[in-house]
Every structure is written in structure tokens, then in C-alpha cells.
Amino acid sequence: MDKFIVTGGSRLSGTVSISGAKNASLALMPTCLLASGVFTLHNTPNNRDVHTFSLLLEQMGVQWKLEKNVLTLDSTNITSHEAPYEYVKQMRASIYVLGPLVARYGEAMVSLPGGCNFGPRPVDLHLKGLEKLGAEITIESGYIHAKCKRLQGTHFHFDVSSVGATVNILMAAVLAHGQTTLTNAAFEPEVIAIADMLVDMGAQISGIGTPTLEIQGVDALHAANQTTIPDRIEAGTFLIAAAMTKGNVTLENVQPSHLAAEIQKLEEAGCVVTATENSVTISMDDDPQPVDITAAPYPAYPTDTQAQWAAFMMKCKGAATIKDTIYPTRFGYVPELQRLGADIETGDGYAIVRGGSSLTGATVMSSDLRASASLVMAGMIAEGETEILRVYHLDRGYEGMEHKLTSLGANIRREQTEEF
């Protein structure tokens, strides 16, 4: 088990390259189950979730190789249609194999994901959507069994905007017989990325980038290659980290339009932000003004950087409210930030951060991926050393975060620990 030891007080400055988007990669990878052949995914981040997903595909018969951020997937010999619990419990996105398997092979067995560290995360929409397409779904011994002859085009309306359910149902609908209309579909950049990939594979999809997707099912697809979009969550994390250390940082390999909500909030807090086509530069000279955020589906402020915003607001002159409409209980990081001396109050779906407390290093525990990032960032502004346990959460979604932060001037080292 690894831990980070962060010594506070450094100011971030310099240039850093942002990796490919973890959440886009996890959506692109299962498309290889929709067609036989060799798929090449450029700009794939080398993080733990990508490895876990590769191993899941491997036990289905996919051969894979990840070298220099190029992931090759060979799906010529699929031998299993099952996603066992040992993978799904590590990573909920494993459920993405459900749609492609049932659409192409007429059957799939996928473990139910179970609980999550930041509250309930049901998969009812994934199942309802597949049932609407004609799959017969049963739950047995903790597994989802899905069966069908051939999926049939339909109209499915998502009760709530869900990235995962949209990705899954879209992957199923492309091989269904006839036309499918999906309404209130998610249109996060990661959803657009996978829709573009499916089109490159021969799928017929219109309305990409909008909440209404029209899919004309085809009989077969072919392998394709893709370059993964930049990780807007990693980019948002680094922008906030630069701001909270009163730094001056340029991010390269980013898509600034994907960061519009965060950039606006950073400017309101007092940061100076400039962008080119594929880079963003941020500088901050003073403590931030308090700025409230409400995490909601894209293009609103993302839930995946709300914990980082809370860490930033520990430095503000006043009080800022953080609301999360997607995961109203995603505030598990608050007691850990309080261990450093933060003044934060939580309520139903919100946290109020009162900035200005003096922060001192302590031992804290990561509870989920993005919570871990907020703890690392808090450690960078606390006095003395902060020990962050269970950084395997962080490794799920950030490629070499400590190396990138260290290259910008942070003082972070990774150590092995017996502690769990």
C-alpha cells in the first residue's frame, strides 16, 4: 500500500502536459467488443483503471498492450461474456461491457457493482434501457444476466442525465435492428468521444453532442482507431492546485472549451486565465475570493472537481458553498480536511467552507479518487508534512500525479506503508 508525504508551502510554476481522459478511455475500450479486429487508442492514460479494464477485457479473450500511452486491443477471439465481481468491485465502469456484449453476442453476465464510497450509484437506467431494447434481464447471485435474440430499436428516455447509462445504451443501440431515439442523454465530452468512435466503426448516429441521439442500427461494425480527448478533470485539478498555491502554470494538451465552467469560477475567485487552442495558463497572486459552486451535469461545474474546489476555498477570504446535485453525499473528504484544521460545515447536499483557518499537516485517509486529489492539494498549503494514506484511489485516475506536481515545484514523495 502506498502513501504520499506532502510538505506544504511550495508554489507551483511551470508547464505540465495533461493526460488522456480516464473516463473517455473507459468508454472507448469496450467498443472493441462490438467488432472483431485490432483497435488502437492513442493518448490513453496509464493509470490503474485503464489497467483494470484491460485485465477485464483480457479475461474475455481480448489481447492488449499499453506502450507509451498507445493502447492496442485485439478482439479477434472473444471467449467469455462475463464480467466477474473481482473486476467490477474495483471499478464500476466495468458495467460498460454489458451493452456491447448483449448487442453483439445476445448474452452477458456482469456482476452488480454494489456500493460506492460517495453514496448510492444505481445502475437501474442501464438495465431499463437494455430491457427497452428487448433484452431479458434477470438478477441472480449478485450478477446481471442479460439475454436477447437481436436488440430492437426503440425510444428510451433517461429519467436523469447519466454518463454511464448513455454510453452503455448507445453501444447497444448501434447494433440493434432499426432506429433508436435516446432522449435526455448525457452529452459530456466523454460521451461525444465514444459516439465519434462508434461512427468511425461504421455506426449511424446523429445528434452527437446534444441530449437527443438518433441511432440507425447496423448489422456489423469494424475496428477503428481513436485519439483520446484530454482529461478535463485532471486539467481542472491542476488549475485549482496552481491557484491555491498562488502559482503560475501552463497546462498543455487540453481542450479549453471543456473547462469553461471551472475557468469562469477560477476567474471569479481572482485568477488570471488565458487560453490558446490547446493550452491554458493560470496565475494567481492573492488569496481567492469566496466563490460558490454547484456540481451538475456538463456543461455545469463537474462533480469530479468539487472536492478540489473545497480545498481551494480553505484559502478564501470568507465562506463558499459547495453543492453537489449529482452525488449529494460526496463530502466524505470533509472530515479529513478538518484534520488539517479546515473550517467546513456539511448539510444535505452541500458543504460550507470558511476560509482562512491556519492549516497544519496531519495524517489523512483517501476515501475516493477525487477526494484523494483534494487531500494532496490541501497538504500543499498546510504547514509541515501531510501524510495521505491509501493513494491507490488516486492512482486509479491520475497518471503519475506526484511526478507532475513535483515537476511544478511541489514537495511530494511516495512511500510504501504497512498501514491499510
Supply the residues annotated as catalytic.
Answer: 116
Tell me the backbone φ, ψ of residue 358, rounded to 5 degrees: -80, 135
Q: Which cell is 18 given?
A: 495533461
Tell me the backbone φ, ψ of residue 253, rounded to 5 degrees: 60, 50
Distance CA 77, CA 332 (A): 42
First to last CA, the chain: 7
Phi/psi region, residue 270 (left: phi>0; alpha: psi -120 to 50; beta: rest), is left
State the Cα torsion 192-135-29-36 to the nearest 10°.
-110
Q: Residue with CB nearest ligand UD1? A: 164
Q: Which cell is 208 given?
A: 452527437
Q: Give me the half-sphere count of Cα atoms (radius 13 Å) on the Cβ side of residue 110.
A: 27
Q: Say if residue 286 is exposed, middle or buried (CB neighbours under 10 Å; 0-12, 13-18, 19+).
A: exposed
Question: Which residues are near ligand UD1 by CB under 6 A?
Answer: 23, 26, 92-93, 121-126, 160, 162-165, 186, 190, 303-304, 326-327
What one-letter code names the amino acid at 356?
G
- Collapse the DSSP code of 33 into the 3-class scheme (helix H, G, I; strand E, B; otherwise coil) and give the result: helix
Residue with cell 480536511: 337
- Collapse the DSSP code of 378 into the 3-class scheme (helix H, G, I; strand E, B; otherwise coil) and give the result: helix
Distance CA 52, CA 256 (A): 29
Distance CA 306, CA 417 (A): 28
Helix extents (H) in 21-61 = 22-28, 48-58
Sheet holding 70-74, edge to edge: 63-67, 70-74, 38-42, 225-227
Q: Say if residue 79 is exposed, middle or buried (CB neighbours under 10 Å; 0-12, 13-18, 19+).
A: exposed
Residue with cell 436488440: 151
